[in-house]
Amino acid sequence: MNRLKGVGVALITPFNEDLSVDFESLTKLIEYNIENGTNFFVVLGTTAEAATLSKEEKQEVIAHIIKVNNGRLPLVLGIGGNNTLEVKHQIETTDLSAFDAVLSVSPYYNKPNQEGLYQHYKALASTGKPIIIYNVPGRTGQNVEAATTLRLAKEFPNLSMIKEASPNILQHMDILRLKPEHFSLLSGDDELTLPVTLAGGDGVISVIGQGYPKEFSTMVQLAKEGKVKEAYDIHNRLVEITRLIFAEGNPCGIKVILAEKGIIKNYLRLPLIPATEGLQAKIKAEMQKI
């Protein structure tokens, strides 16, 4: 998984007005990101509205991204859920030959304790596939504590990375301070990307990054080079729009930016709906400043 560094973007799924998948816009989005410095793609994460795609649509999206990417950037596939045996089965039976790793969110809704979270990832590790732990307590309702992450990191070599989206930056710091050498941490929070990278993280799996790939990848590269002031100049330019895109849920905000840039059309599938007119106006005004 050593290719998964820098800025990975969690690709959205563009839709047409009839809410069918807009493959033409998906092609444009992939090309835009490759041309502007994105380092790898995450396919069918939560940002892709994967929960609203049928099994057939998921297969079509995967095939399309693999074809258009044509081996240019590393790919990560989202396979997660709160039924451990089913997630394990999906990982075992999915053709992962085009992917560097699986991104697997911690179980949501049923809120297992730390031992349950450990046993869940232990079961996934038994597949032998490279797996990225994904901790996003704001969505799952349960935090994978640093001690649990570190326990998994030390025991299972194929659990060699975490996308850490805890709002508590001290948790990121504890993992970075105590992790084994082979284990890597990516920020799962766009706004924490810079401080986490400066502290020793390997970058980010980003939402805003697909709207501003050149700026975001430059910021992470500057951080890696120790050019702190220059990196924070970019960070500070993007803070407001980063906050705005999450104000009414994800991916409704990033779709406003991508539609405004002419890359996609601004449609979402229920239960998500497009950003309100007020939020759209704020995002567009902030885009003018950037």
* Residues placed in the known binding site: 47, 205
Query: Structure tokens of 290?
Result: 């950037």
Catalytic choice (32, 121, 134, 267)? 134
Annotated binding-site ranges for pyruvate: 47, 205
212 contacts: CB under 8 Å, gap ≥ 6: 238, 241, 257, 290
**The residue type at 123:** A
The 3-state secondary structure of the chain reads CCCCCEEEEECCCCECCCCCECHHHHHHHHHHHHHCCCCEEEECCHHHCHHHCCHHHHHHHHHHHHHHHCCCCCEEEECCCCCHHHHHHHHHHCCCCCCCEEEEECCCCCCCCHHHHHHHHHHHHCCCCCEEEEECHHHHCCCCCHHHHHHHHHHCCCCCEEEECCCCHHHHHHHHHHCCCCCEEEECCHHHHHHHHHCCCCEEEECHHHCCHHHHHHHHHHHHCCCHHHHHHHHHHHHHHHHHHCCCCCCHHHHHHHHHCCCCCCCCCCCCCCCCHHHHHHHHHHHHHC
Is 134 labeled as catalytic in the residue annotation?
A: yes
Catalytic choice (58, 88, 129, 163)? 163
Is 224 labeled as catalytic in the residue annotation?
A: no
Closest CA to 18 of 265, 260, 262: 265
Question: Catalytic site residues?
Answer: 134, 163
